[in-house]
Amino acid sequence: MSAQDTLTERYGAPSPGRRRLVLLASVVVAAVFLGWLAWAVYEHARPQVTSELESFSVDDDHHVTAVVVVQLRDSDVDASCTLRAYAEDHTTVGELTFSPDLAEGRRQTETVRTDRRATSVENVGCTASGQDRPR
């Protein structure tokens, strides 16, 4: 007598329909999860607005000019972009939040007022309705 025969005598034979039901339920759960995952990847790969700092120049002790390239997925997206200026000791000396003007094109030239001389500018990013993470 084998171990399998002993288990069958002790607990009874497994139901053949139960194995199919568990397999079918597992396939359905996996398909739903993979569909949700594909949707999430697709939506997050196409943000409403993206931005990139192209260049900046320090005009004087109290002004920095930055050129930001902003791309909107749709022309009716209401976006808000933020630039930050830093001093040599890495403290924030200026910040500007602006709405991109499509009439100017993709390149937005913005002037940030600073408390003292800035040495660098950071593009924090742009946000839009439904997109809380700056990009």
Which CATH number characterizes residue 114's domain?
Answer: 2.60.40
Instruction: Answer yes or no: do 54 and 41 share one domain.
Output: no
State the pLDDT confidence band at 134, using cuts at 50, 70 and 90: confident
Instruction: Answer yes or no: do 25 and 89 share one domain.
Output: no
State the Cα–Cα distance between residues 123 and 52, nearest whole angstrom. Answer: 7
> What is this structure's pTM?
0.69
Is the pLDDT reported for residue 39 higher than 90?
A: yes
Tell me which of 12 and 116 has the higher pLDDT: 116
Highest-pLDDT range among 12-16, 32-36, 74-78, 103-107: 32-36
Least confident of 30-34, 45-49, 69-73: 45-49
Other beta carbons less than 10 A from residue 105's beta carbon: 10
State the pLDDT confidence band at 63, using cuts at 50, 70 and 90: very high
Give the pLDDT confidence score for residue 107 in this predicted structure: 92
Does residue 135 belong to any structural domain of this protein?
no
Q: Which domain holds residue 83?
A: 49-127
Instruction: Answer yes or no: do 66 and 21 share one domain.
Output: no
**Contact yes or no for 85/119 (Cβ under 8 A):** no
Angle (CA) 80-66-57 rounded to 5° is: 165
Does residue 134 belong to any structural domain of this protein?
no
Give the pLDDT confidence score for residue 1 in this predicted structure: 57
Domain count, the chain: 2
State the Cα–Cα distance between residues 94 and 90, nearest whole angstrom. Answer: 12
Nearest to 47 by CA among 68, 73, 70: 73
Is the pLDDT reported for residue 3 higher than 70?
A: no
Instruction: Answer yes or no: do 89 and 104 share one domain.
Output: yes
**Contact yes or no for 118/59 (Cβ under 8 A):** no
Alpha-carbon torsion angle 93, 118, 53, 129, nearest 10: 10
Does residue 67 belong to any structural domain of this protein?
yes
Instruction: Answer yes or no: do 39 and 56 share one domain.
Output: no
